Amino acid sequence: MSLPPYTFQGGVAVLTGAASGIGRALALQLATQGSHLALIDRDEAGLTTLAADLKQSHPQLRVTSHPFDLSRTAEIPQLADDVLRAHRRVTLLINNAGVALGGTFEQITLEQFEWVQAINFRAPVALVKAFLPALSAELHPQIVNVSSLYGLLGPVGQSAYASSKFAVRGFSEVLRHELAPRGIGVTVVHPGGVRTNIANNAATAPGTSAAEAEAGKRAMNKVLNLDPAVAAAIILRAAERRTPRVLVGTDAKVLDVLARLLPGTYWGVVASLMARRGGT
C-alpha cells in the first residue's frame, strides 16, 4: 500500500531521548515544521530547558515534557496516558532513546545486558503497544524506530547493544508489514557515527578501570563525526517520504554493503579498518 507523504504541520509527535543529541535536533526541526511535541527523556533538567526554549520560539505549539526512565517498561502505559491527556492525539511516534554498554559478553553482567534490552528494545515495543490505538485513529500516521549501524553488524564488545538494535530492526520490519494495510507507516533508522554523548554516557563492564573506560570512550568518540542536525534532517525526510529503511551517514552505507557482501566474514575487514583509524 502506497501512503501519502507524512504531514508534520499540526501533527503531534511523541519523541523519546529528546533532551540531547539526535533527539534534541529532531525536536527543534519538528517544531520548525509545525509539529506539537510530547518530549520524553530521563534527563529532567535537559528536557525542561528544551521545552522552555521551544515554547518561547514556537508559542503556537503545544510542547509538553515527560521526564521518564524508559527502563521502567511496566510504567509505560501510564506514560502514554499522561501524553494523551495532554495532547488528545498522536500522529508520529519516534523511538529514539538508547543507551550503550562496553565490554565483551563474558565481562558484562546479565543485569547490565537486560538494562540495555529494556531501554533500547522493550521500551520501543511497549511504546508502540501503548500508542497504537491512538495512532490507528489517525489518517496515515507514522512510526520511526531508531536502530543503529550495529543493527546491521555485530562488533566485538557490543553484544548487548547490537542485540537490542538487531531486535529493533526485526520488530520494525514486522510492524511495517502488519500495519501497512491499516495506513500506518513504519521507518527503521540505522545511524552510523553521529556526534552525540552516547559514548560518554556508556556503562562499562564490572572491573573496568577508569583509564580503560576513558580510552574506550575516546576511541568511540573518534568515529562519532556526523552533526546531529544533519542526522535529524535525514530521519525526518525519511519519515515524510515513508521510507521503510534509512541509513544515516557514509559509514552506515559502506558497512551495510560490506555486511551484505561478506555476511559471515566481514569482521576481519571492519577490525582492520578500525585499527587504521585508531578506533580500537
Tens digit of each residue's pLDDT (9 = 90 or more) over 92-115:
999 999 999 989 999 999 999 999
**Cell numbers that stand for 158 in this block:** 557490543
- Residue of 194 and 241 predicted with greater confidence: 241
Whole-model pTM: value is 0.91
Q: Which residues contact 268 (CB under 8 A, 6 or more apart)?
A: none
Q: Which of 6, 150, 161, 266 is catalytic?
A: 161
Residue 223 has pLDDT above 70, yes or no: no
Of 86-90, 196-200, 239-243, 272-276, the range with the lowest mean pLDDT is 196-200
Q: What torsion do the CA atoms of 156, 159, 160, 164 make, to the nearest 10 degrees?
A: 110
Going along the chain from its start, the domains and CATH numbers come out as 12-250 (3.40.50.720)
Q: Which of 96, 79, 80 is nearest to 145 (CA)?
A: 96
Supply the pLDDT for residue 280: 37
**Are 19 and 47 contacting, i.e. CB atoms less than 8 angstroms apart?**
yes
Residue 177 has pLDDT above 70, yes or no: yes
Supply the pLDDT for residue 207: 67
Q: Which residues contact 235 (CB under 8 A, 6 or more apart)?
A: 22, 26, 94, 144, 146, 187, 189, 246, 248
Mean pLDDT, the chain, integer? 91
Supply the pLDDT for residue 221: 47
Task: Give the confidence band of 218 by pLDDT, cuts at 50, 70, 90.
Answer: low
Supply the pLDDT for residue 271: 83
Residue 170 has pLDDT above 70, yes or no: yes
Alpha-carbon gap, residue 174 to 260, rounded angstroms: 20
**Length of the chain, in residues:** 280
Alpha-carbon gap, residue 151 to 190, rounded angstroms: 7
Residue 47 has pLDDT above 90, yes or no: yes
**Are 41 and 18 contacting, i.e. CB atoms less than 8 angstroms apart?**
yes
Residue 270 has pLDDT above 50, yes or no: yes
For the stretch 107-162, pLDDT in tens is: 999 999 999 999 999 999 999 999 999 999 999 999 999 999 999 999 999 999 99
Task: Give the confidence band of 275 by pLDDT, cuts at 50, 70, 90.
Answer: confident
Residue 68 has pLDDT above 70, yes or no: yes
161 counts as catalytic: yes
- Residue of 196 and 168 predicted with greater confidence: 168
What is the mean pLDDT of the segment spanning 224-246? 93
Residue 71 has pLDDT above 80, yes or no: yes
- Residue of 268 and 205 predicted with greater confidence: 268
Give percent of the chain above pLDDT 70.
89
Residue 25 has pLDDT above 70, yes or no: yes
Distances from the Cα of 204 to the Cαs of 193, 207, 218, in angstroms?
Answer: 19, 8, 14
Supply the pLDDT for residue 279: 44
